[in-house]
Structure 1
Amino acid sequence: MKLQSGITVVKNGQLVDGTGKAAVPNATVIVQDGRITYAGSAEAAPQTPPDARVIDAKGGTIMPGLVEAHFHATYFNIQELQDLDIKYPVEYVSMLTAVNAKLALECGYTAARSGGCLFNVDVWLKKAIEADLIAGPRLATSGREICSAGGLMDWNPEFRKIGMEGLVFIINGVEDARSAVRALVKDGIEWVKTYPTGDAASPDTNDHHTLCMNFDEMNAVVQTAHNHKLKVTGHCRATQGIKNALRAGYDCIEHGTFIDDEGLELLLKRDVPCVPALYFEKASILRGPEFGLPQSVIDGHQETLDGGTASALRILRAGGRIGLGGDYGFGWNPHGDYAREISFFVKDVGFTPLEAIMCATKTGAEIMGRSHEFGTVESGKLADLLIVDGDVLKDIALLEDRSRFIAVMQGGVIKAGQLTRTEHTWDNATKMG
């Protein structure tokens, strides 16, 4: 991915740097050859050349690009789970994925970690983005997922006589678990996504208190993945499934819905991040009826929402790390609504705006293993920036409104926002003088 050459100055806005520290009013950020060289008060900023490019933040907010920590690039606003593996061929899924990636970038998400992907498309999507062939967030890939036979993701009946290799590896036992990871190693993924527990979406056989993998299978996944320097995460709602994952050595927990004291202690001891992905639950409750979700499923989502909200706040207040993102790509929780997750954590969970932004930037970059490159606005890091027309600390919902984005930048290059709407971006930029 190319970096912007020359010097760019972003001024006339408050700096919310993503570290959780208080905002810096009247701040300046200086970018040279795609990297930040200064971020702080305008009064202390070093002088820059008179021909430097200048971006006026209009008294708004200068902050890190957002990180979607649970991104389903190949989910195409599906109506039901079966759509994922039997509705479209890989060729069309690939095209839909490119559209989703561009949309995520336009929504201010300059980076994303895959939470599961059809047909290994995200590996090739990442290559295309990094080669500047298409627009999209910097990616950490995961490819196909792993679930035990009869578990949450094993929904095709035997009489269909079709495999699910495009979506998920269905395993029976330790050897199958190892074989699945080895196939993913060959695919070139970075994160192994598993399904240790069920979900409210399957109330009859695999609800959110059900285990879908046993400890031996999970341990085999971790041992094999770590041997090949891959990380492991898992869809963990049930209390025992959370603890099984932490004891097996998982590197991240998705959801962590019904964590107990013992699970919290395990999580904190190893400093394992959790991505609760809660707005999906609220969307399922609010819009589920119009999409025909059964009342039993909606009731399960309500229980999941209540438990997940309490668990997420508890983890953060105990000193744990929370990443934000999750499960966008269903009809009732479509792509493009990603920042509703951030608003939900402020308005419904009880995070402060600074905490929520830190989780959606700094912690997301840490989960991706790239916090040394981006996630905060600090000297030496890539200039992956989001410049917003307005005070996001007073109104966090501004992050949901793409029309308020002055610029979305990757490596100093403006990829989206108001400044891309003119033929020559810098015709509207003020020259220093």
Structure 2
Amino acid sequence: MKISEAALLIRNGQIIDGTGAPPIQDGAVLIENGRISYVGSAEGAPDQGPIETLDARGGTIMPGLVEAHFHPTYFNVEALEDLDIKFPVEYVTILATYNAKLALESGYTAARSGGSLFNVDHWLKKAIENDLIPGPRLVASGREICGIGGLMDWNPDYRKIGMEGLVLLVNGADEARAAVRKLVKDGVEWVKTYPTGDAASPDANDHHTLCMTFEEMYAVVETAHNHGLKVTGHCRATEGIKNALRAGYDALEHGTFMDDEALEMLLERDVPVVPALYFEMASVKNGPAIGMPQAVIDGHLETLEGGAESARRILKAGGRLGMGGDYGFAWNPHGDYAKELSFFVDYVGFTPLETLMCATKTGAEIMGRGDDLGTLETGKLADVLVVDGDVLANISLLQHRERFLAVIQGGEIKAGAYKYQPNDRECAYPLQER
């Protein structure tokens, strides 16, 4: 990925460094060779050599956001067929490049894939790293793993079309190991599994059912860890959460119905969770308009309330939470990522600082890149978001791309008003020599 060699000083804004520390008023961030060389008060900023300046206009200087459960190949999904057989791989790839560009323009400079059709995310990552297309720094998951007859196995056998473009279906520990070995060849970094069902499937695989056995889950972890891969899982049902923690999972998606025993196990191993809760709210709010069955809406409401309570308990107990998830559905489209952040403040009850720490520092840790990304600290890669306004006073500003002065990745301005004027592509606020 291209690293800017120009020195850039971002000034005249409050700094939220992503660690959860109080903001630094009238702060400055100096970027040199694509990395942060100074972060602190403006009066202490270095004053030597040719440095370009970027005026934050009294707004906010913060780390680039991390989407910790990104589905790049989902695009306005309305029905199950939209997920696996609606489009050929060629068009799915084009849609994924669009979603990647949109994520970056939305302030998300990094993302961890939560699963992808046809292993597209692996190749999408390579294209982004080689500067062929714009997008977030990406960690790939490729195809997912689920038990036969589980949540992700919806194509009836008489169609004889299988599910292998989206998910590898397993029946027993040996098939689970074989599935992971296929993913090893695909080049993924995370293995995504489905230990439990979901409200979307109320008849056979609802949010209190299990879709994989413990033996299958353990076989996945044992094989993945042998090859240096990490394992996560769609975990809603309480017993599925416990099975994942006992099996040695490295993260949990959702972690919805967490009892005291599950929470204790989670904290003991310091396993991060990505609740992906705004999807549930969007389903409850928008479900009736799209004809979502009432039983499904009711299930999403139960999941929403249970997941919110689990998230509160995890954070209060000192656990780690990442932000993001399941965007790409017709009722929860790509580009709405920051609605999750407002939701956690307004509905779940997190403070803005807590929410932003989850969306930056913890997200980078989940990616496995906490040493390089996620906070504004000396030596880290300069992935920075500059917002026109105080996001601590109004976190919903992050939903409005027109308020972004600069989306910076590796010291290079990739999007925002300082990059292009929307209509004539002229510099809106030209950089000034200092």
- The residue that corresponds to 1:341 in the other structure is 340
CA distance in 2, matches of 1:427, 1:41: 23
- The residue that corresponds to 2:45 in the other structure is 45
Cα drift, residue 168 of structure 1 = 0.1
Given that residues 417 and 429 in structure 2 are in contact (C-alpha distance below 8 angstroms), is that contact kept between their aligned partners in structure 1?
Answer: no
- The residue that corresponds to 1:296 in the other structure is 295
After superposition, the C-alpha distances for 1:56-113 in whole angstroms (9 at most, x for unaligned) are 0000000000000000000011101221111000000000000000000000000000
- The residue that corresponds to 1:193 in the other structure is 192
Cα drift, residue 43 of structure 1 = 1.6
Q: Report the AA paired with residue 309 of structure 1.
A: A
Unaligned ranges ≥5, structure 2: none
CA distance in 2, matches of 1:213, 1:66: 33
Given that residues 18 and 63 in structure 2 are in contact (C-alpha distance below 8 angstroms), is that contact kept between their aligned partners in structure 1?
Answer: yes
Cα drift, residue 431 of structure 1 = 2.1
Given that residues 53 and 426 in structure 1 are in contact (C-alpha distance below 8 angstroms), is that contact kept between their aligned partners in structure 2?
Answer: no
User: Which stretch of structure 1 is more off in the superposition, 129-138 or 78-87?
Assistant: 78-87
Cα drift, residue 47 of structure 1 = 1.4
CA distance in 1, matches of 2:430, 2:160: 59
Cα drift, residue 52 of structure 1 = 1.0
- The residue that corresponds to 2:431 in the other structure is 429
Cα drift, residue 362 of structure 1 = 0.2
1:1-400 alignment, distance < 5 Å = 1-49=1-49, 51-400=50-399
Given that residues 418 and 429 in structure 2 are in contact (C-alpha distance below 8 angstroms), is that contact kept between their aligned partners in structure 1?
Answer: no
TM superposition score normalised by structure 2: 0.98
CA distance in 2, matches of 1:240, 1:134: 42
Give the 3-state SS of the residue equivalent to 2:282 in structure 1: helix
Identity %: 69
CA distance in 2, matches of 1:12, 1:55: 9
CA distance in 1, matches of 2:48, 2:69: 39
Give the 3-state SS of the residue equivalent to 1:344 in structure 2: helix
CA distance in 1, matches of 2:180, 2:371: 28
CA distance in 1, matches of 2:253, 2:17: 26
CA distance in 2, matches of 1:421, 1:113: 27
CA distance in 2, matches of 1:396, 1:2: 30
Give the 3-state SS of the residue equivalent to 2:25 in structure 1: strand
Cα drift, residue 165 of structure 1 = 0.8
Given that residues 419 and 428 in structure 2 are in contact (C-alpha distance below 8 angstroms), is that contact kept between their aligned partners in structure 1?
Answer: no
After superposition, the C-alpha distances for 1:287-330 in whole angstroms (9 at most, x for unaligned) are 01111110000000000000000000100000000000000000
CA distance in 2, matches of 1:427, 1:137: 24
Q: Report the AA paired with residue 137 of structure 1.
A: P
Cα drift, residue 48 of structure 1 = 3.0
Unaligned ranges ≥5, structure 1: none
Cα drift, residue 425 of structure 1 = 4.7
Q: Report the AA paired with residue 393 of structure 1.
A: L
CA distance in 2, matches of 1:196, 1:287: 27
CA distance in 2, matches of 1:115, 1:191: 8
Q: Report the AA paired with residue 39 of structure 1.
A: V
Given that residues 420 and 428 in structure 2 are in contact (C-alpha distance below 8 angstroms), is that contact kept between their aligned partners in structure 1?
Answer: no
Give the 3-state SS of the residue equivalent to 1:364 in structure 2: helix
Give the 3-state SS of the residue equivalent to 2:168 in structure 1: strand
Q: Report the AA paired with residue 12 of structure 1.
A: N
Given that residues 277 and 324 in structure 1 are in contact (C-alpha distance below 8 angstroms), is that contact kept between their aligned partners in structure 2?
Answer: yes
CA distance in 1, matches of 2:174, 2:95: 34
Given that residues 82 and 155 in structure 1 are in contact (C-alpha distance below 8 angstroms), is that contact kept between their aligned partners in structure 2?
Answer: no
CA distance in 2, matches of 1:389, 1:289: 36
Cα drift, residue 427 of structure 1 = 7.0
Cα drift, residue 426 of structure 1 = 9.2
Given that residues 327 and 336 in structure 2 are in contact (C-alpha distance below 8 angstroms), is that contact kept between their aligned partners in structure 1?
Answer: yes
CA distance in 2, matches of 1:216, 1:249: 12
Q: Report the AA paired with residue 57 of structure 1.
A: A
Q: Report the AA paired with residue 364 of structure 2.
A: A
Q: Report the AA paired with residue 200 of structure 1.
A: A
Tell me how large the CA RMSD over aligned residues is: 0.9
CA distance in 2, matches of 1:387, 1:426: 14
Moved over 3 A (4+): 422-427
Given that residues 287 and 297 in structure 2 are in contact (C-alpha distance below 8 angstroms), is that contact kept between their aligned partners in structure 1?
Answer: yes
Given that residues 176 and 220 in structure 2 are in contact (C-alpha distance below 8 angstroms), is that contact kept between their aligned partners in structure 1?
Answer: yes
Given that residues 146 and 169 in structure 1 are in contact (C-alpha distance below 8 angstroms), is that contact kept between their aligned partners in structure 2?
Answer: yes
Call closer, same or farther: CA 1:182–1:337 in 2, change over 3 Å: same
Given that residues 389 and 405 in structure 1 are in contact (C-alpha distance below 8 angstroms), is that contact kept between their aligned partners in structure 2?
Answer: yes
Q: Report the AA paired with residue 375 of structure 2.
A: T
CA distance in 2, matches of 1:358, 1:372: 15
TM superposition score normalised by structure 1: 0.98
Cα drift, residue 420 of structure 1 = 1.6
Q: Report the AA paired with residue 231 of structure 2.
A: V
Given that residues 8 and 54 in structure 1 are in contact (C-alpha distance below 8 angstroms), is that contact kept between their aligned partners in structure 2?
Answer: yes
CA distance in 2, matches of 1:356, 1:427: 30
